Structure 1
Amino acid sequence: MDLNDAVLLLVDYQQAFDDPSWPRRWNSDVDRNGLALLAAWRRAKRPLIHVRHDSVEQASTLRPGAPGNALRPGFEPLPGEQLVTKSVNSAFIGTDLDLRLRRLGAKTVVTCGISTDMCVSTTIRTGANMGWNMMLVEDACDCFDLPDGKGGSVPAEEVHRAHVATLGFEFCRVATTRDVVSAL
């Protein structure tokens, strides 16, 4: 795995997702894996971009000014690291992410975050459609149980598995934290 032209994109590692108003999450290792990936990336002095969801919905736990809008402990940008803020699922829509990646000389975008099926998936799909070589670090992602529209719910593990399969089939390469850290 060649990561010489890669930028790490950390999507929505925000405190809101610990709020009890959100459904059950499945990946208890999301922070550990995400932080291990971030630490290895920083040690390798590779470019990275943090993404934060700034909801425009007044009641959202992700709205600016709400405690949940803050990035999770350890995921805050260090001086000199870039932060892109967005108000929709894709980090490419309504932002200058594409331009930032081009200025960094990127060809590959290594992506992880919360949640697999929403902002991570939408960002990967958009990026792939724009011509970026996208990579998903699947064990550094998390998602939630989802209502199935019939009175039940789809377990988060199944939601994650289906999205990883779809993304890997059509939109990106899929890797683990260990794969990426080893390649650095």
Structure 2
Amino acid sequence: MNWKQAYRSFYYQGAPDPQDLNLRYQNTALLTIDIQNIYMKPAEDPIERTRWAPFRKRMNEIVIPATRDLQDRFRRKEMDVLHARIACLLDDGRDRSLSQKKPGWNYLLLPLNTEDSQIVPELSPAAGEIVVSKTTDSALTGTNLRLVLHNMGIENVIMCGIFTDQCVSSTVRSLADESFNVVVVEDCCAAGTDELHYRELEIINMIYCHVMSSKELIDIMDLA
């Protein structure tokens, strides 16, 4: 089964296969969402550390290497590589959106210049690459990214990052609403659990984006 038949939700069972994609180098960009130091640190609580171990394993063994590989391929073709991260402008986080102030796991206080808010070293932006900082889930809602992409002539956005069911999904939906063509690279994304990851891929696939593997994308775009 390839990307045209995979990750289908209830709504798209039996629907015609999508058309072949025309992802031209000059109007296609790679965007990586929120792969930051804070999410790769093992929790101090041993129970939480164990609970999140499968996520960190997927990130270290699959997502980060596959994302770095795609970034390098885009750079070799002189294509645009962009980055988004969660980071507030004020140390006390008053500029954060409500979703980042709520108690619990999603409470995020990541001032701009702290170590926790930085992109992981393996995926550090190259010189001259655009990095946007956001205090929202969607990378479009909280930044000028929509305007920047339009000004650059970008029509197709290739998405990597975390978390599939949160900031990735929110950004995908925002991009789709702005009439960008979006491709989500399955092995370059992760959620807290594989179940959440694959379920969200089914929800957003075909209506807001197309979901495929990095190998399929490399073949389609001739990025070898």
TM-score class normalised by the smaller sequence: 0.7 to 0.9
- Cα contact 1:12–1:51 (8 A) shared by 2: yes
Q: What SS does the corresponding residue of 2:122 show, helix, strand or coil?
A: coil
Query: For the residues of structure 1 that align with 2:206 and 2:212, how far apart are their CA atoms?
Result: 13
- Cα contact 1:54–1:86 (8 A) shared by 2: yes
Query: For the residues of structure 2 that align with 1:179 and 1:44, how far apart are their CA atoms?
Result: 17
Query: For the residues of structure 2 that align with 1:100 and 1:121, how far apart are their CA atoms?
Result: 20
Q: Which runs of 5+ in 2 are unaligned?
A: 1-20, 94-99, 102-106
Compare the two structures and name the one with the higher helix fraction. Answer: 2
Provide the aligned length of Structure 1 versus Structure 2.
173
1:133 CA drift (Å): 0.8
Answer yes or no: is 1:13 the counterpart of 2:35.
yes
Higher gyration radius (CA): 2
- For residue 215 of structure 2, what is the aligned residue in structure 1? 178
- Cα contact 1:50–1:82 (8 A) shared by 2: yes
| 1:100 maps to which of 117, 139, 148 | 148
Query: For the residues of structure 1 that align with 2:203 and 2:142, how far apart are their CA atoms?
Result: 25
Q: Structure 1 residues 86-95 or 47-56, which shifts more?
A: 47-56
Q: What SS does the corresponding residue of 1:69 show, helix, strand or coil?
A: coil
1:63 CA drift (Å): 3.4
- For residue 158 of structure 1, what is the aligned residue in structure 2? 195
Q: Structure 1 residues 18-27 or 118-127, which shifts more?
A: 18-27
- For residue 38 of structure 1, what is the aligned residue in structure 2? 71
| 2:204 maps to which of 163, 167, 171 | 167
Query: For the residues of structure 2 that align with 1:104 and 1:161, how far apart are their CA atoms?
Result: 32
Query: For the residues of structure 1 that align with 2:119 and 2:199, how far apart are their CA atoms?
Result: 27
- For residue 190 of structure 2, what is the aligned residue in structure 1? 142
Q: Which runs of 5+ in 1 are unaligned?
A: 145-155
1:161 CA drift (Å): 0.6
- For residue 80 of structure 2, what is the aligned residue in structure 1? 47
TM-score (ref. length: structure 1) = 0.86
Amino acid at match of 2:194: E
| C-alpha RMSD of matched pairs (Å) | 1.9
- For residue 124 of structure 1, what is the aligned residue in structure 2? 172
- For residue 137 of structure 2, what is the aligned residue in structure 1? 89
Query: For the residues of structure 1 that align with 2:77 and 2:217, how far apart are their CA atoms?
Result: 12
Query: What per-residue deviation string (whole Å, max 9, x for no partner) do you get for residues 64-119 of structure 1?
Result: 34322111112111111111110110000121101110111111111110111111
Amino acid at match of 1:161: Y
Compare the two structures and name the one with the higher strand fraction. Answer: 1
- How high is the sequence identity, in percent, across the aligned residues? 28
